[in-house]
Amino acid sequence: MDADTTTLSPETLRAEMVATVRKAGYARRSEVERVLLDTPRHEFVPDADLAVAYDPWQAVITHRFEDGRSLSCASAPWLVAAMLDQLDVQPGDRILEVGAGTGYNACLLAQLTGRADLVTTIDIDPDVTAKAKRALTATGYGDVHVITSDGALGYPDHAPYDRMIVTVSPWHIPAQWWKQLAPGGRLVAPLRWRGQGRSVAFTYTEGRLVSDSLHLCGFVYLVGDGEGELSGAITADELVTLHWDRDQPVDPEALRGVLDQPRVTAWSGTTIGRNESHDGLWLRLTVTDPRVCRIKVHADVPPEVCDPVRGWWRMALVDGDTLVYLTARRLESSDEVHWELGAIGHGPSADELTAYLCEAIRSWAPERKQHTPSLTVYPADTPDSELAGPAIDKTHSRFVLTYGDSTE
- Sheet of 397-402, strand order: 145-148, 119-123, 95-98, 161-166, 181-193, 196-205, 208-216, 374-379, 397-402, 392-393
Q: Of 220-229, 385-394, 399-408, where does mean pLDDT reach its minimum? A: 220-229
* pLDDT for res 407: 36
Query: Whole-number mean pLDDT of the chain?
Result: 90
Q: Express each pLDDT in 136-187 by its tens digit.
A: 999 999 999 999 999 999 999 999 999 999 998 888 899 899 999 999 999 9
Q: Express each pLDDT in 177-231 by its tens digit.
A: 999 999 999 999 999 899 888 999 999 999 999 999 998 876 666 655 555 789 9
Q: Express each pLDDT in 51-61 by its tens digit.
A: 999 999 988 87
Task: List the chain domain ranges.
Answer: 5-216, 229-367, 374-408
Helices vs. strands in the chain: H and E counts, helices first: 9, 19
What does 37-49 look like in DSSP terms, one character per residue? Answer: HHS-GGGGSTTS-
Q: Express each pLDDT in 304-319 by its tens digit.
A: 999 999 877 799 999 9
* pLDDT for res 84: 97
Type of residue at 5:
T
Output the CATH code of domain 5-216: 3.40.50.150
Phi-psi label, residue 361: left if phi above 0, alpha if psi -120 to 50, beta otherwise: alpha
* Residues labelled as active-site residues: 72
How far is residue 199's CA from residue 197's CA, in Å, rounded to a whole number?
7
- For residue 10, is pLDDT > 90? yes
- For residue 6, is pLDDT > 80? no
* pLDDT for res 62: 65
